[in-house]
Chains A and B, each alone.
Chain A
Amino acid sequence: EVQLLESGGGLVQPGGSLRLSCAASGFSFSSYAMSWVRQAPGKGPEWVSSMSGGGGTTNYADSVKGRFTISRDNSKNTLYLQMNSLRADDTAVYFCAKDRSVGAVADPFDYWGQGTLVTVSS
């Protein structure tokens, strides 16, 4: 059974940093691109960042480019999101999500974690 479990969310002041983790199990983690998707209260989902299975390719939404860094440790089946220079508009539930297919140029997300809440406020 595929499972994705996020952790690391919490309350942080504007300008602060947080590191999110997503522990994966039940599938060949290193074979799949993984993404972070966030959802602000009452809003639709917003893609944040993705990383290829081997870690060689990363992509970021313009809204987080230069502030967030995605990484993965395939030996630990874990995806990370380092978030720096946090702003109030980064407040959201952050989900990790798995690509549906191996090696696709782009793919929808067939499994999502339960999400971890990040609140940026003074």
Chain B
Amino acid sequence: DIRMTQSPSTLSASVGDRVTITCRASQSISNLLAWYQQKPGKAPKLLIYKASNLDSGVPSRFSGSGSGTEFTLTISSLQPDDFASYYCQQYISHSECTFGQGTKLEIK
């Protein structure tokens, strides 16, 4: 099984800050990596697919990069609505799809 490891687990930041979350895969997944945002009591929301493509309607302050085993999600200027949990997901096939353990982005 492919394991996805996110860091940090918790991130404290202020409105306007630039923040980066890292996701590492236990083996190469090419660019088959997605990022989701989740708020308490809600379903995850797709932000980025294929490592760097913004899903429809996602603000341009979100960006993703990486390939192989190392990936990053960057928020260029934090907005109040961005404080949430973030999860990476590898989707190399329909028979194997795993999520990271999550990063909770908190207000400093």
On A, residues with C-beta under 8 Å from B are 33, 35, 43-47, 50, 52, 57, 59, 62, 95, 97, 100, 105-110, 112-115
Q: Which of B80-108 contact A (CB under 8 A)?
A: 87, 89, 91-95, 97-102
A106/B91 in contact, CB under 8 A: yes
On B, residues with C-beta under 8 Å from A are 1, 32, 34, 36, 42-46, 49, 55, 87, 89, 91-95, 97-102
Known pairs A44-B99, A52-B94 / 9 extra A-B pairs, C-beta < 8 Å: A45-B36, A62-B1, A97-B43, A100-B49, A100-B55, A106-B32, A106-B93, A106-B94, A110-B46
B87/A45 in contact, CB under 8 A: yes
Q: Can you spell out 11 A-B residue pairs with CB atoms less than 8 angstroms apart?
A: A44-B87, A44-B99, A52-B94, A59-B94, A97-B43, A100-B55, A105-B93, A106-B91, A106-B92, A110-B55, A112-B45
Q: Is the interface of A mostly helix, strand, loop or mixed?
A: loop
Which residues of chain B come closer than 8 Å to A113, judged between CB atoms?
Answer: 43
> Which of A46, A109, A110 has most B Cβ within 10 Å?
A109
Q: How far is the CA of A44 from the CA of B44 in the complex (A)?
A: 10
Name B92's closest neighbour in chain A (CB-CB).
A106
Which residues of chain A come closer than 8 Å to B42, judged between CB atoms?
Answer: 114
Which residues of chain A come closer than 8 Å to B93, judged between CB atoms?
Answer: 105-106
B44/A45 in contact, CB under 8 A: yes
> Which of B46, B94, B101, B102 sits near A100, CB closer than 8 Å?
B46
Name A50's closest neighbour in chain B (CB-CB).
B94
